[in-house]
Amino acid sequence: MSLVIIITLMVRYGLVMLFFPFSALDKILGFAGAVAQARQVFTNRAVATAVLMAGLAIELVMSLGVVTGISDRACALILAGYCALTAILFKRFWTKGDFFAAGDSQGRALFWDFLKNLSLGAGFLLIVVGTNGAGLKPFLAHPLASSHPYAGTRSAS
């Protein structure tokens, strides 16, 4: 395995490790607490549980797609949307009313989490559009295709 492949794998895993295994494992091991958190937004228990299970599936399946390179562009797009959606639903800094308060503020703490979610989502969009200047053309032409992140790379070592 070449150095470039190892670095590519590490970078891709670095993007998803928040979800796989940590957030996914947290949802599984602390299921009741995760449902309670989801109920802050979705008051109906059945809806909150369904949303939580959908989030768990996204975190597991899409993360594996990004790391393995299997339909990685589509998986990364879904994860980018997931990051934005969770920021909007669960990092509602604007509702706390203490954003401009002196000292520690729940609103400002959530604001930084909100920005982190959006930034992580932007990182996933780099997989969708690539860094070679091709933009959305390859994704739009074949949305479920792999970007083949581990093919055709050679190491100088």
Note whether 50 and 11 are within 8 A (CB): no
Lowest mean pLDDT among 52-56, 77-81, 132-136: 132-136
User: Does residue 68 register a pLDDT over 90?
Assistant: yes
Note whether 92 and 102 are within 8 A (CB): no
Residues 97-125 pLDDT 10s: 898 888 889 999 999 999 999 999 999 99
Per-position DSSP letters for 59-99, written without gaps between them: IIIIHHHHHH-TTHHHHHHHHHHHHHHHHHHH--GGGSS-T
pTM, two decimals, is 0.91
What local confidence, expressed as pLDDT, does residue 99 receive? Answer: 86
Distance CA 62, CA 82 (A): 10
% of residues, the chain, pLDDT over 90: 86
Please name the residue that has the structure tokens 């930034």. Answer: 119
Note the residue count of the chain: 157
Note whether 16 and 75 are within 8 A (CB): no
Distance CA 73, CA 140 (A): 10
Distance CA 106, CA 85 (A): 20
What local confidence, expressed as pLDDT, does residue 156 receive? Answer: 43
Alpha-helical regions (H) of 1-157: 3-16, 24-29, 31-38, 45-57, 63-68, 72-90, 106-129, 137-141
